[in-house]
Structure 1
Amino acid sequence: MNKKIMLLARDPGGANTVIPLAESLRERGYQVDLYGKDLALKRYRQMGLKGQDITEILAEIKTSSWEDFLSQQHPDFIITGTSGDDFTERYLWEAARSIGIKTFAILDQWMNYGIRFSNFTLKEQGQYWQNKLHPYLPDYILVMDETARQEMLSAGIDGRRVKISGQPYFDLIVSARNSFSAEQILKVKRELGLQPDELIFTFISEPISQDYADSNGELFWGFDEKSTCSMLLHTLDKVLERSSQRVRLIIKQHPRENEDNYSFLNNEISNEHISISTVKDIDSWSLLRASDLVCGMSSMLLMEAIILGCPVLSIQIGLNRASPLILVKRGILSPILKQEELENTLRTILVDKDIPIINWHIESGAVDKVITYMEELLCINWPSTVEKR
């Protein structure tokens, strides 16, 4: 009988880490049961997969419910994403440990390392820093690289639990980089209703104001999605005040954002050459490839855009602490920290046609590493080998 592997995610980022594993595990002869909650289910559908909604199976998401479920289903191994503001995966790790099922959790991003395994959510950062304990831990945490491993250790996670695997989702992006045709890009532009001479500037939003809400009205990072997008829009307006160039600013919202998050921008621009569109349910890769410029703060989509070969700007005006973007920490990308710098950069792009290109080499193979690590543990617990198709 084939080994049964359970995959679970709650957030879109977590879903991205397990999505590439589903097909590869099935190709190796494993039975794969894909579960999800909330926006992870939507992400599965976008990638052509159907996941089972765990909220329709469990009356309540808690450790004891997970224990009952696992006792009935008997998965041989569990691989999950991680969440910053939800405990679904955390309770699952706890339940699996009590039953004796091995678990992996895969990080999707170079930030919020320890809090994903704590008693707190992102909105409770202050409480977490005062009480940095990690009671919810899988057997192993798989991270993107040595930088992430060191950050996990600095957060207080036992290094024996941390393995470097790479980001499985990057395997998909690397393979997709050269698969976009000119016809596909034109199709995206037609769907967005663009004029032939209209440039696409895409702003990648994040729910920063939602995740890092402060009762004192202070911005955790010194900026949020609203302040950054507003600064981009007004600077673009200034740069184009004597130009006839048409620009469509497309705000790609995060799945967890409120639909009206940017309604305040409706009356802020009078330049007839600038138009604004807000989108959420759109194929991200097609939008990125169709864009003449991709702007954002620290979203994973910025990194995806770079891997896809798109020109990218990271705008972090007001930054009051170390940048959350890993490419900045590594010196691969320099963020824009002042309004004057943003104005000069946009002028260079629009007037001089000098488009910034960032070189960031990503090696594929993370999916194979994750499965290899899993099989090492399976071989310890179950001597039989899995026959590949």
Structure 2
Amino acid sequence: MTAIKKRLFIFVCDIGAAQIIRTVFSKLSAKFAISLCVSQSATNYFQNYPNIPHKVTKTSDEALVQLKTIQPELVLLGTSNQNQIEPHIIKAARQLKIKTVAFVDQWQNYQVRFKQFNKFVLPDKIILPDNNAIQEFKKEVGDHGDLACGGQPYLRSLTLRPSARKVKKQQAKTLFISEPISSTLNRQQIQQIYGYDEKVTFFAILKVLRHLRAKQTLSVKLHPKENKLNRTKSAYHCRYNSFSHQQLMQYDLVIGMASTVLLEAYILGLNVYVFQPQASSQFDHCMLSRYGYLRRCTTSRDLLLSIRQRVRKNRRLDFLKIRDDRFISTIS
């Protein structure tokens, strides 16, 4: 006799959470009867995976209608930055006496992922990528009752794929991974939290590239929530959609501030540089430099020296040892 699966309602808004759900979907389906709802940038992401059934919900009201219609036994949520839909779902699930589990896909911005109207709205259980993230979460948010270490299944999946082949190029190529800092924070917040934004970083990179002997072409990977950089000229190839790993391999240098795409490029063995110009006392939002895998460059001179003295082999990231089964087992 086949056992009846628990009904699991999954809701994700951003690409980081969507990547993890896509990675573990088949394993989750073996354990749960899944109803997947997506919103915002996760909507576009799942359009590329028609084999994964999902429903698009544009507002919190639509998401709550789905929750009440499905009546799941468990709710699994992504934790998007400064989004207000997940807290509504947590509150509604609590009223319906449904357990909620949320997972964090990055090593930063823990507070804003669980705040609504400047008050914490915490699920019953929170899954974090590794023990470093758990300790940082406790310092930033507090000692929440049920914290679990579940790894980062999507990033780990990159280590299981055949190595992408380096693309032969006639000219050196640099990729800047941008983030929507100036469009989501005011000037005072930017100075307090970061010390820099994507525009400051972009023009500082241009200055550095002019000092390199080899002529460089610069491309910009824009975040889905980001408008095009002001004053960006047609010479700089800007794109919103994600890069395939074969496309990433076209670049000699990958430079960014704290984006997860830097982690992807690092795992693929590319020359990655963490550049946070004008940051001094501010917190380092990139785990690669915060945990000592890469140097944190805070001036143009730092970046120029790092590029000239680059290390050829990237160290293996500790969290990649955590298998997907551990992530699945924490969802209960």
* Aligned-partner Cα distance in 2 for 1:282–1:370: 25
* Aligned-partner Cα distance in 1 for 2:189–2:322: 45
The residue number in structure 1 matching 2:290 is 329
The residue number in structure 2 matching 1:41 is 43
Q: CA 1:6–1:171 in 2, change beyond 3 Å: closer, same or farther?
A: farther
The residue number in structure 1 matching 2:100 is 103
1:340 aligns with 2:325: no
* Aligned-partner Cα distance in 1 for 2:285–2:177: 15
Of residues 212, 216, 233 in structure 2, which corresponds to 1:266?
233
| Secondary structure, counterpart of 2:258 in structure 1 | coil
Contact 2:36 2:53 (8 Å CA) reproduced: yes
* Alpha-carbon offset, residue 23 of structure 1: 1.7
- One-letter identity of the residue aligned with 1:90: P
* Alpha-carbon offset, residue 38 of structure 1: 1.0
Of residues 178, 202, 211 in structure 2, which corresponds to 1:229?
202
The residue number in structure 2 matching 1:360 is 316
The residue number in structure 2 matching 1:312 is 272
Give TM-score scaled by structure 1 length.
Answer: 0.76
Q: CA 1:216–1:326 in 2, change beyond 3 Å: closer, same or farther?
A: closer
Cα shift readout 1:325-377 (whole Å, capped 9, x = no counterpart): 1222222211112222223334x27xxxx554331334254431122123xx4
- One-letter identity of the residue aligned with 1:145: D
Of residues 242, 246, 269 in structure 2, which corresponds to 1:286?
246
* Alpha-carbon offset, residue 158 of structure 1: 3.5
The residue number in structure 1 matching 2:60 is 61
Superposition pairs for residues 293-308 of structure 1, below 5 Å?
293-308=253-268
| Secondary structure, counterpart of 1:368 in structure 2 | helix
The residue number in structure 2 matching 1:381 is none
* Alpha-carbon offset, residue 291 of structure 1: 1.5
Of residues 225, 250, 268 in structure 1, which corresponds to 2:219?
250
| Pair member with larger Rg | 1
- One-letter identity of the residue aligned with 1:300: T
* Alpha-carbon offset, residue 155 of structure 1: 2.4
Contact 2:164 2:245 (8 Å CA) reproduced: no
* Aligned-partner Cα distance in 2 for 1:330–1:179: 25
Cα shift readout 1:310-338 (whole Å, capped 9, x = no counterpart): 11011112003121112222222111122
* Alpha-carbon offset, residue 17 of structure 1: 2.8
* Aligned-partner Cα distance in 2 for 1:47–1:357: 33
| Secondary structure, counterpart of 2:237 in structure 1 | strand
1:30 aligns with 2:32: yes
| Secondary structure, counterpart of 2:173 in structure 1 | strand
* Alpha-carbon offset, residue 217 of structure 1: 8.1
* Aligned-partner Cα distance in 1 for 2:175–2:181: 18
Q: CA 1:217–1:139 in 2, change beyond 3 Å: closer, same or farther?
A: closer
1:77 aligns with 2:74: yes
The residue number in structure 2 matching 1:197 is 170
Contact 2:165 2:249 (8 Å CA) reproduced: no
Q: CA 1:370–1:239 in 2, change beyond 3 Å: closer, same or farther?
A: closer
Report the identity percentage.
26
The residue number in structure 1 matching 2:155 is 170
* Aligned-partner Cα distance in 2 for 1:85–1:217: 15
Cα shift readout 1:160-187 (whole Å, capped 9, x = no counterpart): 22111111222322223x34245xx57x
1:213 aligns with 2:186: yes
The residue number in structure 1 matching 2:18 is 15
The structure where helix makes up a greater share of residues is 1
Indicate the RMSD between aligned Cα atoms, in angstroms.
2.5
| Secondary structure, counterpart of 1:70 in structure 2 | helix
Q: Give the gaps of 5 or more residues in structure 1.
A: 121-127, 187-195, 268-274, 378-389
Give TM-score scaled by structure 2 length.
Answer: 0.89
Q: Is 280-289 or 82-91 further displaced after alignment?
A: 280-289
The residue number in structure 2 matching 1:124 is none
